Amino acid sequence: MIFIAIENRMEMENSTMVYSDVTTGMDSVLDTRHLDIISLVVYCVAFVLGPIGNGLVIYVTSCRIKKTVNSVWFLNLALADFLFTSFLLLYIINIARGYDWPFGDILCKLNSMVNVLNMFASIFLLAAISLDRCVSTWVVVWAHNKCTPGRAEVICVGIWLASLVCSLPFTIFRQIMHYGNRTMCSYSFSHDSSTYRNLVVFRFLLGFLIPFLVIIGSYIAIWIRARRLQRGTTRRSLRIIVSVVLAFFICWMPFHVLQFLDIMTNGSPGLNLVVHIGIPLSTSLAFLNSCLNPILYVFMCDEFQKKLRQSVLLVFENAFAEDHGMNFVSSTRSLSSHLSRFSRKSESLAPGEGHLHLTADQSDVKVETEV
């Protein structure tokens, strides 16, 4: 979607008469290089943090923990973000060259497809996660028996295929175009055409509004049910998912709003100014979302300061663990702690001074000494 922002920028640069009636101080505000620098900084940060953070999530969810429904969801979410952030280098080079695309027609189409594919796959996965949590909250036994990792993988395959189909229109119409001495990767139709407007509406409905209505409905149902739940692990798991959804909403909502403003400007200098400044900034914010999720997984874990002193991989493992699994891990750690204290105490007793009685009740270990 950066290409939409680029095309808007080019049209505004080539049509300075649109702003002739605006205040004389606008030239400094409309300095596109300042916006380009901001975009470059954000893209560089996302390009560095995105593959590293999402790569760790992919490693943990695929190699370090037992496959669960949660791990399947987060693995695919990380795959989408990893793929997208890995392509950010092309965006960075393109902006640094003054929007002169040097990579040819094939990479032009592929880059556009990866961009839109990430957006659709992410929002579809978040909707699937929300529905899964809703079902798991209301029909616990049925969900435990039917919602298996294998079925989650099948759903993820369907989500990727649906996302690919939704991204095809944005890929088919993308091609190399020449603007003066610059070669740009842009749409084959004009910015004010009905085709462009239809694509904006299509992307907003399927890539934002409808999935978010599903998400909101799911969490309303979860909230109604969650008032009866008291388990901390359930609340923690829900907190992580809600934080990811809110981050996506905050990062992508300004972009979609400004895209609608863009198709409704009708030559208005005020709206053109808002779009001209807002679209590059909102695009940067949307792209930044792809490196936020791994950070949220860490910070939303319980006892963050304590766990930060442990392995980062262990923090990710705890974040993606199923609720019942977390209870088992907690009990195991409690048992290990008791056994460690028992071992130290037994070593302090000299031979022949007495003997020990060890009794265990579930995860609690009691040590009694007789002298």
Kind and range of the H or E element at 338? helix 323-347
Q: Tell me the helix, strand and coil percentages in the chain, rounded to 5.
A: 75, 5, 20
pLDDT of residue 362: 41
Rg of the chain over Cα atoms, rounded to whole angstroms, equals 26
pLDDT of residue 355: 43
Cβ-proximal residues to 114 (8 Å cutoff; 6+ apart), any chain: 83, 84, 87
**Cut 0.85: pTM above it:** no
CA dist., res. 53 & res. 365, Å (int): 39
Residue with tokens 């990710």: 316
Tell me the two tokens of residue 220: 């309303």
Give residue limits of the domains in the chain. Answer: 2-321, 325-370
pLDDT in tens, the chain (371 residues): 444 454 444 444 333 333 333 333 444 444 577 888 999 999 999 999 999 999 988 988 888 788 889 889 999 999 999 999 999 999 999 999 988 999 999 999 999 999 999 999 999 999 999 999 888 888 888 877 888 899 999 999 999 999 999 999 999 989 898 888 888 998 877 766 788 889 999 999 999 999 999 999 998 888 888 777 655 445 666 777 888 889 999 999 999 999 888 887 666 677 778 888 888 999 999 999 999 888 887 776 554 445 445 566 666 666 666 554 444 344 444 445 544 554 554 444 444 444 434 444 444 434 343 33
φ, ψ of residue 21 in degrees (nearest 5): -95, 0
φ, ψ of residue 186 in degrees (nearest 5): -145, 175
Kind and range of the H or E element at 174? strand 174-179
CATH code, residues 2-321? 1.20.1070.10
Residue 274 to residues 35, 193, 258, 260, 270, Cα–Cα distance (Å): 13, 21, 8, 12, 6
